[in-house]
Amino acid sequence: MQNGHDRRVVSSIQTTNLADILERVLDKGIVIAGDITISLADIELLSIKLRLLVASVDKAQEMGIDWWQSDPALSSRARKLEEENDLLKARLERLEARLPAPLGSG
Protein backbone atom coordinates (compact mmCIF):
# COMPACT_ATOMS: atom_id res chain seq x y z
CA MET A 1 0.00 0.00 0.00
CA GLN A 2 1.31 3.45 -0.90
CA ASN A 3 1.76 6.04 1.77
CA GLY A 4 0.60 9.67 1.40
CA HIS A 5 4.04 10.84 0.20
CA ASP A 6 4.04 8.41 -2.74
CA ARG A 7 0.60 9.60 -3.86
CA ARG A 8 1.71 13.25 -3.69
CA VAL A 9 4.77 12.49 -5.84
CA VAL A 10 2.66 10.72 -8.48
CA SER A 11 0.11 13.55 -8.42
CA SER A 12 2.89 16.14 -8.70
CA ILE A 13 4.42 14.35 -11.70
CA GLN A 14 1.03 14.09 -13.42
CA THR A 15 0.32 17.80 -12.78
CA THR A 16 3.72 18.77 -14.16
CA ASN A 17 3.19 16.63 -17.26
CA LEU A 18 -0.25 18.13 -17.82
CA ALA A 19 1.15 21.65 -17.40
CA ASP A 20 3.96 20.88 -19.87
CA ILE A 21 1.51 19.48 -22.41
CA LEU A 22 -0.79 22.49 -22.05
CA GLU A 23 2.14 24.89 -22.42
CA ARG A 24 3.29 23.13 -25.59
CA VAL A 25 -0.20 23.09 -27.08
CA LEU A 26 -0.72 26.79 -26.39
CA ASP A 27 2.75 27.66 -27.67
CA LYS A 28 2.57 25.64 -30.88
CA GLY A 29 -1.19 25.45 -31.38
CA ILE A 30 -3.28 22.43 -32.28
CA VAL A 31 -5.98 22.05 -34.91
CA ILE A 32 -8.77 19.53 -34.62
CA ALA A 33 -10.95 19.08 -37.70
CA GLY A 34 -13.83 16.82 -38.46
CA ASP A 35 -16.83 16.50 -40.75
CA ILE A 36 -20.16 14.95 -39.83
CA THR A 37 -22.64 13.99 -42.51
CA ILE A 38 -26.07 12.52 -41.85
CA SER A 39 -27.67 10.82 -44.83
CA LEU A 40 -30.82 8.82 -45.36
CA ALA A 41 -31.13 6.60 -48.46
CA ASP A 42 -28.17 8.34 -50.12
CA ILE A 43 -29.74 11.79 -49.52
CA GLU A 44 -27.59 14.12 -47.48
CA LEU A 45 -29.76 15.61 -44.74
CA LEU A 46 -27.16 17.41 -42.67
CA SER A 47 -23.50 18.27 -43.06
CA ILE A 48 -21.48 19.80 -40.24
CA LYS A 49 -17.87 20.92 -40.53
CA LEU A 50 -16.04 21.27 -37.23
CA ARG A 51 -12.78 23.19 -36.94
CA LEU A 52 -11.17 23.85 -33.58
CA LEU A 53 -7.93 25.73 -33.01
CA VAL A 54 -6.40 25.73 -29.55
CA ALA A 55 -3.55 28.20 -29.13
CA SER A 56 -2.40 31.08 -26.98
CA VAL A 57 -3.57 34.58 -27.89
CA ASP A 58 -0.04 35.48 -28.95
CA LYS A 59 0.24 32.43 -31.21
CA ALA A 60 -3.19 33.07 -32.74
CA GLN A 61 -2.27 36.69 -33.51
CA GLU A 62 1.03 35.52 -34.98
CA MET A 63 -1.04 33.30 -37.30
CA GLY A 64 -3.24 36.27 -38.27
CA ILE A 65 -6.25 35.25 -36.17
CA ASP A 66 -7.68 38.09 -34.08
CA TRP A 67 -11.45 38.03 -34.66
CA TRP A 68 -12.20 38.48 -30.94
CA GLN A 69 -10.83 42.03 -31.11
CA SER A 70 -13.65 43.10 -33.43
CA ASP A 71 -16.44 41.06 -31.82
CA PRO A 72 -18.66 43.40 -29.75
CA ALA A 73 -19.61 40.52 -27.45
CA LEU A 74 -15.96 40.01 -26.49
CA SER A 75 -14.33 43.43 -26.82
CA SER A 76 -15.39 46.65 -25.10
CA ARG A 77 -13.51 48.62 -27.78
CA ALA A 78 -15.43 46.86 -30.56
CA ARG A 79 -18.70 47.39 -28.65
CA LYS A 80 -17.95 51.14 -28.39
CA LEU A 81 -17.13 51.33 -32.10
CA GLU A 82 -20.37 49.54 -32.96
CA GLU A 83 -22.37 51.98 -30.81
CA GLU A 84 -20.63 54.96 -32.43
CA ASN A 85 -21.32 53.49 -35.86
CA ASP A 86 -25.03 53.09 -35.06
CA LEU A 87 -25.21 56.70 -33.83
CA LEU A 88 -23.49 57.97 -36.97
CA LYS A 89 -25.84 55.98 -39.22
CA ALA A 90 -28.87 57.42 -37.43
CA ARG A 91 -27.45 60.93 -37.69
CA LEU A 92 -26.75 60.49 -41.41
CA GLU A 93 -30.31 59.26 -42.00
CA ARG A 94 -31.71 62.34 -40.20
CA LEU A 95 -29.50 64.66 -42.26
CA GLU A 96 -30.43 62.95 -45.54
CA ALA A 97 -34.12 63.23 -44.67
CA ARG A 98 -33.71 67.04 -44.41
CA LEU A 99 -32.15 67.40 -47.87
CA PRO A 100 -34.37 68.28 -50.78
CA ALA A 101 -34.94 65.58 -53.37
CA PRO A 102 -32.32 65.63 -56.16
CA LEU A 103 -33.36 67.24 -59.44
CA GLY A 104 -35.03 64.90 -61.89
CA SER A 105 -36.09 62.37 -59.25
CA GLY A 106 -39.80 62.56 -59.40
Between the two ends of the chain, the Cα-to-Cα distance in Å is 95
- The predicted pLDDT at position 94 comes to 94
What is the average per-residue pLDDT within 44-66?
87
Domain boundaries, the chain: 1-64, 66-98
Q: How many residues does the chain have?
A: 106
Between 96 and 74, residue with greater pLDDT: 96
pTM here is 0.43
Distance CA(27)–CA(21), nearest Å, equals: 10
12-54 pLDDT per residue, tens: 666 678 888 888 888 888 878 889 999 999 899 999 998 888 8
- Cβ-contact 55, 62 below 8 angstroms: no
- The predicted pLDDT at position 7 comes to 63
What is the average per-residue pLDDT within 60-86?
85
Alpha carbon separation from 21 to 11, 56, 68 (Å, rounded): 15, 13, 25
- Cβ-contact 55, 26 below 8 angstroms: yes
